[in-house]
Amino acid sequence: MEIAEFWTICAANSIVLEPEQLQALERYVRELRYWNERVNLISRKDIEHLYERHILHSLAALKYVEFPPRARCVDIGTGAGLPGIPIAIARPDLHMLLVESVAKKARLVAMFAAHTGLRHLQVKRARIEELSSSPQYRSAFDIALARAVAPLPTLLQWAEPLLKPTGKLVAYKGGDLQAELQEAHARFPTLRSTVHDIRLYGAPWFEENQKRLVVCEFVPQPATSA
């Protein structure tokens, strides 16, 4: 997929990108391709499909999820900077923290992030469990993002301490989710989940491969009278 086709598909799906944002995404893709030859950041078989299977996939959340203006977001296990960097480029008002535990990957992602020039895009090398126990990050985020990291119940266990009471976990998933959803709801009785099948005009790959977004919220329980 070339950049012009990518931009057209984004526009057709109400994902608006200005020329400077396209340029920032192009630079990120070039750097990702270069460094993926040296450090295994993404699957080698996907390297020729970066725009569709990684950048567009990351941005799909903007079609299905409302990101409040200037929302604080955390990308759990960002890996190569996905989905956090593309979303931060498309929505520069967001405060995005990319969390990665592997030192080599964290250093590269920090370089990618610095080259975007975005002031509110930061990288932290840490295990997500460490953030959950830190007062600085507890109940600090409006949105938690996770792409190809862990089963849904585990993601919820990590995300719950980090989210504000009104916060949401956005999990990028695929295939049959019934077992994961059943276990998640059993472990978190106040959980409310919504599954979005990713359907993007001009990009049938998402439907063909059953790509989905699972949006999770913790619904406060009504107070009981004594």
Average pLDDT over residues 172-184: 95
Q: How many domains does the chain have?
A: 1
pLDDT value of residue 148: 82
How large a percentage of the chain has pLDDT more than 70?
98
Q: Which helix (H) or strand (E) holds 216?
A: strand 211-218
132 occurs within a structural domain:
yes
47 occurs within a structural domain:
yes
212 occurs within a structural domain:
yes
CATH number at residue 175: 3.40.50.150
- Using CA atoms in the order 142, 146, 125, 159, what is the torsion angle rounded to 10 degrees? 50
Instruction: Locate all alpha helices (DSSP H) within 117-203, ordered by sequence.
Output: 128-132, 152-159, 178-187
Q: What is the average pLDDT value for the chain, to the nearest integer?
A: 93
The answer to whether residue 123 scores a pLDDT higher than 60 is yes
CA distance 94 to 73: 7
3-state secondary structure of 166: strand
73 occurs within a structural domain:
yes
Average pLDDT over residues 121-132: 92
225 occurs within a structural domain:
no
The answer to whether residue 31 scores a pLDDT higher than 70 is yes
133 occurs within a structural domain:
yes
**74-96 confidence digits (pLDDT tens):** 999 999 999 999 999 999 999 99
Residue 23 CB partners (closer than 8 Å, separation 6+): none
- pTM for the predicted model, two decimal places: 0.95
224 occurs within a structural domain:
no
The answer to whether residue 223 scores a pLDDT higher than 80 is no
More confident residue, 171 or 224: 171
The answer to whether residue 224 scores a pLDDT higher than 80 is no
Domain that holds residue 157: 3-218
pLDDT value of residue 46: 78
40 occurs within a structural domain:
yes
- Residue 115 structure tokens: 């080259």
Taking alpha carbons only, the member of 130, 139, 148 closest to residue 58 is 148
Helix axes 19-36, 103-116, angle to 10 degrees: 150
